[in-house]
Structure 1
């Protein structure tokens, strides 16, 4: 697709003079900017800190899709996600899932127990390192029927990365306090998990069906978390 300069400039205009924006406001601005550059089906933004439960900052899923892409993901499968491991390593840049995934990704536990249910053809992520050991990952996703991102799209996204990273660090600053509040609300007393300390064992959740034409895949989160240790 060709670049929609009018839509791109309109998205930029929404940030002019704005010292702060809500998660939804900046997430929508990011979505509009990306939509002016490339074609995709979904956007999701997670913030990661250590092995803590990632924070969902923004997404474009409908309620049923949100269950599989966010709710179940946060419950345990994120610990096996190549995007999570890249964020944990504090790597910055734009990466395709297939370049970060292990050689046998399609036979991996993460793929078989979780990722196959998403129905995605490809996922590209902007990895932005921030203060307090936090990495923010902004993912663009394409479904199987849409197909993978063309190489020209990936090259264009890499050119946009420095600007996106600067905007993310500005509008999503100060997330450390939100992670601390999350730990406190989940019984952690505001204490960050020490390096090497194992996350608490999670209870298994029932399998969810993403679409009517896709058979549900068994999702055993106890097994998932055990493998991540």
Structure 2
């Protein structure tokens, strides 16, 4: 199948999942995960109507953003080191992967010179896997309270990378847990904190994620094919 056809299939899947659970398809956005993919494929996806892309590696992201002269929306979705934050300043609409206060503080410092605050999601390691980044569910509230005091960023929601399961139904409890955590945080009514976004769901399980409240689904393989390993 062509890249355009792949995008059409994913969009149809999003609409079907939304209808199944009574949601407006416009409440779910597709993040095309373009990490390790060449500029030519991103431009091809853009020509097919895709405008939102997610990158995971800072240097690669910056190079692509500078090379592509199209009005695209870029999200940073990968693990982020504090010493790389400066390269993202002003180039990304949303950082999905804030998992510790020191990282949030550096984002706040780097965005201090910009008019608009940084929009971030707090990453939660919902399965408490040692191999994955993210704060724990138990530590989430304390982290959100601390980060909310930083003046140059806004917490827009939560993100998770749940344990991989072949059967998407086995992942549903993790998505449901993230949604419940978002509701708990929302009830705190903290300034600068709004649980508007839930970034969860990938190529094989995005439909279940949508049924459990995802507003951003991160799809790479089903659009671009298997990614190359660095």
Whether TM exceeds 0.5 here: the answer is: no
Q: TM-score, normalised to structure 2's length?
A: 0.29
Q: TM-score, normalised to structure 1's length?
A: 0.29
